[in-house]
Amino acid sequence: MATVHLTPHLFTHFPHLSREPLEVEASTVREVTLALERQAPGLGFYLCDELGRLRTHVNIFVDKQMVRDRRGLSDPVERQSEIHILQALSGG
């Protein structure tokens, strides 16, 4: 199971989620977002637009590497991967 660390900002919008890291079964970043959507309906549309593209001001890191395929989210995820989902800093 890969481990997902969400930015605390997202807990504001999904308060029912535990603030503990989430465990997901996934072999790609796309599968991570789909697993998160199952745990928190609506979360997928916070991370990606209607076309499935990662939103401009959202970053995902897999084992400290920033995701490269922002359109297809095909970056591989290993069983022991640590995934961080962050908001990119922007404006006031």
Partner 1 sequence: MTTRILVGTRKGTFLVERHDGRWRPRLAGHAGMGVNYVARDPFTGKLWALLGHGHWGAKLSVSDDGGATWADNPAQVKYPEGARYIGQDMYEDATSDFGVGWRIATRPATLQKLWVAGFGPGGAVYIGTIPGGLFQSRDGGATFELNRPLWNHESRGGDLFAGDGIGETKWFGTPASEGGEFAPGIHSIAVDPRDPGRLLLAASTAGVIATDDGGQRWRAANRGMLLDHTPEPDAEWGHDTHFIEQCQAEPDHVWQQNHAGVYASSDCARTWRKVSRPAEGVHFGFPITVDPAMGRRAWVVPGRSDQQRMAIDGALFVARTDDGGESWTHLRRGLPQECAHDVVLRHALTNGGGVVAFGSTTGNLYVSEDHGERWETVANNLPPIYSVRLG
Q: Toward partner 1, which CB reaches closer, 41 or 72? A: 41
Is residue 42 a contact partner of residue 16, using CB atoms and an 8 Å limit?
no
Binding mask 26-45 for partner 1 (x = CB under 8 A): ---------------xx--x
Distance CA 40, CA 35 (A): 9
Q: Per CB under 8 A, does 88 bind partner 1?
A: yes
Q: What is the token pair recorded at 39?
A: 């745990």
Tell which residue, 75, 85, 80, has the closest CA to residue 43: 85
SS3 46: helix
Q: Per CB under 8 A, does 71 bind partner 1?
A: no
Task: With residue 5 as reference, give the H or E element that holds it.
Answer: strand 2-6
Among 27, 39, 55, 82, binds partner 1 (CB under 8 A): 55
Q: Per CB under 8 A, does 20 bind partner 1?
A: no
Q: Which residues are near partner 1 by CB under 8 A?
A: 9-10, 13, 41-42, 45-47, 49-51, 53, 55, 57-58, 87-88, 90-91
